[in-house]
Structures are given as C-alpha cells and as structure tokens.
Amino acid sequence: MSKHRELTYYSVEEEAQPQVSPEPFDEQGTIEDNTEWRTHYDRKPRRWGRWLLFGLVLAVVAGIAEIVLAVIESWQQSWVLGGLWSLGFALIVGIFSAFIVKEFWQLRQLKRRWHAQSHGIESVEQQLKLLDHPDLEERWAQIYQPYWSDSEKRERFECDILSRVDQQASRLVSRWSAEAAAMIAVSPFAVLDMLIILWRNQRMIHRIAALYGVKLGYLARLRLWRQVLANIAYSGLSEAAVDLGTQWVSAELITKLSARAGQGLGAGLLTARLGYQVISLCRPMPFQHTKKPGYGRLQKDLLSQLKGVLPSLYKARFTKAAKSSDTKVEN
C-alpha cells in the first residue's frame, strides 16, 4: 500500500520571494486557435538573386582591396597623408557598419514581434517591457494579481494596458487620415496628391509604430510597408469590400456634390485603412478580448473635417475673386 500524502512544512526564516507570475497552465495557457492571425507573405528565394549577391560581394571585396592598396600607397608617400586617408576610411566604415547593425537589429525586432504575435509565446511581462510606456507599467503593477492564470493575465493586459495604446493609435489614425483628406481636397494637382499621401502615410506609420514600442529603421520600414500593402491587397480584400463598400457608396454621392471632397474622403479612408493595418502589425498580440478599431465613426470625422476645410476654402477663393473684381472696377 502506498504512503499517505502529507503536507510538507518549510522553515519560515528562510528567504522567500512573493510570487508574481503563476506557472502557465496546460489547459488554459494556450490561446484558442480560432483567433485571426495575420498572414505574413515571405519572399520566395529567386534563382538569380544568389548570383547577383555573389557578384555584389565580389565587387565589394575588390573595392575594399583597392581602397586598402590605395591607403598603403599613400602611407608610402607620406605618413600624414596615409594617416588622414586611413582615419577617414575608418570613420566611414565604422559609421556604415554601425548603421547596418542597427538596421538589422531593428528589422529583427519587428520580425520577432510578428513571430511572437502569431505564436503567442512572449509573456505579458516581456510584452509590457517592449511597449516601453513607463506609465502603463505602473498601471500594470497596480492592477496585477498574483493568482491570475496565464490566460487571465493576457486578457487583463489586453483590456487594461494594450487597449489604451490602441486607443491612442486609433486616434492618431483618425487625425492623420482627416488631415490627409483635407490636404488632398485642397491640393491642386494629382502629382502633389501622390506626394502628400506618401509623405503623410510615412509619418503616420512611424508614429504608430513608435506607440507600440517598435523602432523603425530603413529596412524595417520597408518591410513593414510591404507587409501592410500585401495585407491590404490580398488578405484584406474581402474585409475591405465589406468595410469600404458602404462608405464608398456615400463617398460617391459626395463626389457628385463635390469632386474634391470625394477625392479627399477616398484618400482619407485609404490612409485610415493603412493605419489600422499598421496597428495590427505592430501590436504584440492579436485582437482577442477588445474590439478592433474600426471605421465606425471615422467617416463622420472625415466629413466634418472636410466640411470645415472646404467652405472656408471656397469662401476664400470667392472673396479673393470678388476683391479682384472690385479692384478692377476701381481701376
């Protein structure tokens, strides 16, 4: 017969840490499968790419050899010249390599976030650190209960912490898209439209990513852009049809009334769409317990913004025209 279970007692004197994170459950720790994951489109390796890379490496090696030879030669001519040359090259190489390391580091961070997002492996504490909001860390420390299970912690983190960041981000989106809409509405030619859109979106993406604690380097930004556009083009197509369908209809109606307002509205909606994509790509976990920020109030905001801009614009033009006609009369 097996032994009876008994409670084991430990000495109270020994040092013990108050526990802050429960061990993960088997049953509840994993996230259900039905949540929607972002699909990330990975580039297929190209056959010619490898050869191209090889050629580039060869060229770079040759270039470095050339430079080294040139520097050695200049050393032989005079130590002052040689010293200057080597200092200059050392500086350039140093800065360049620092730049590259930083770029790769930032790209890696973004990729790691995507990985964590789709696999749900990072603990809440890690995610909190990544967010890089000291005020929210404090808030978390306030509400945190040691008896929470992993899934409860995730839920609380999403509802109490992440939702605040989401709120800020979606406010950013609606503000920037409203601005874009207004600018497009008043911009005189199409080329300028495109430039404005590019510039505004670029800035918006940067700001949103910073909110979620993602620092974007050049490479990371490129990668994010590509992902955003790919998501919009492929996976987001059906979503877009539902989301935008009704809004386009009313946009069309507005176009009938004022072509410029319609243009502006369209540009604003696209910007918003882009912004929401960026949010879901930069977020450390997918939307589970909170609602995805949506277009609900966006269109209204956009329209009121446009209403604010357009009449004054027209008024300004009219008064200008009136003024000029007045001056003509006077003349």
Partner 1 sequence: MSRIKQFKSQTRDLIHRGFDRHIKLAVTGLSGAGKTALITGVLEQLLYANESQNLPYFNVRQHQRLIGCRLHTSPNWDTPRFDYEKAIERLTGTPGQWPESTRDVSEIRLELKYHPERGLAGKVLDERRLTVDIIDYPGEWLLDLPLLSLTYEQWSKKQRTLFSTEPRKELAEAWLHQLNDLTAVATDDNAEKQIKVVAKAYRQYLADCKEQGLKLLQPGRLVLPGELAGTPSLDFFPWPLEQPVPDAWQSLLERKFEYYKEQVVKPFYQNYFRHFNRQLILVDVLSALEGGESYFDELKLALNEIMQSFNYGQNSLLRRLFSPQIDKVSFVVTKADSVVPSDHAKLTGLINALTLEGRQQLQFERIPFDLFSVAGVATSQWKQLKNGTNVLEGIDQSGELVRVGAPHVPGRLPTREDWQQGYVYPHFQPNFTLADSPLPHIRLDKLLNSVIGDKLR
Using CB under 8 A, list all residues that contact partner 1. Answer: 1-12, 14-19, 22-25, 27-28, 142-143, 145-149, 152, 156, 159-160
Q: Distance (Å, rounded) from C-alpha 64 to C-alpha 256?
A: 62
| Residue placing its CB nearer to partner 1 in the complex, 5 or 43 | 5
Residue 20 carries which DSSP code?
Answer: -
The residue among 29 and 286 lying less far from partner 1, judged by its C-beta, is 29
Shortest distance (Å) from residue 15 CB to partner 1: 6
Cβ closest to partner 1, residue 152 vs residue 301: 152
Q: Which is nearer to partner 1, 18 or 45 (CB)?
A: 18
Nearer CB in complex with partner 1: 7/191: 7
**Closest approach of partner 1 to the CB of residue 89, in Å:** 53
Distance CA 253, CA 71 (A): 69
Residue 248 to residue 251: CA distance in whole angstroms: 5
The least distance separating partner 1 from the CB of residue 47, rounded to whole angstroms, comes to: 52
**SS (HEC) of 228-274:** HHHHHHHHHHHHHHHHHHHHHHHHHHHHHHCHHHHHHHHHHHHHHHH
Q: Which residue has the tokens 């930004």?
A: 221
Shortest distance, CB of residue 116 to partner 1, whole angstroms?
Answer: 23
Closest separation in Å from C-beta 133 to partner 1: 18
Quick one: which of 191, 187, 139, 195 has its CA closest to 162? Answer: 139
For residues 177 and 269, the answer to whether their CB atoms sit within 8 Å is yes
Structure tokens at 121: 């492996």
CB closer to partner 1 out of 24 and 82 = 24
Q: Give φ, ψ of 230 to 5 degrees.
A: -65, -45
Q: Are 213 and 131 in contact (CB under 8 A)?
A: yes
CB of 291 to partner 1, least distance (A): 14
What SS3 state is found at 68? Answer: helix
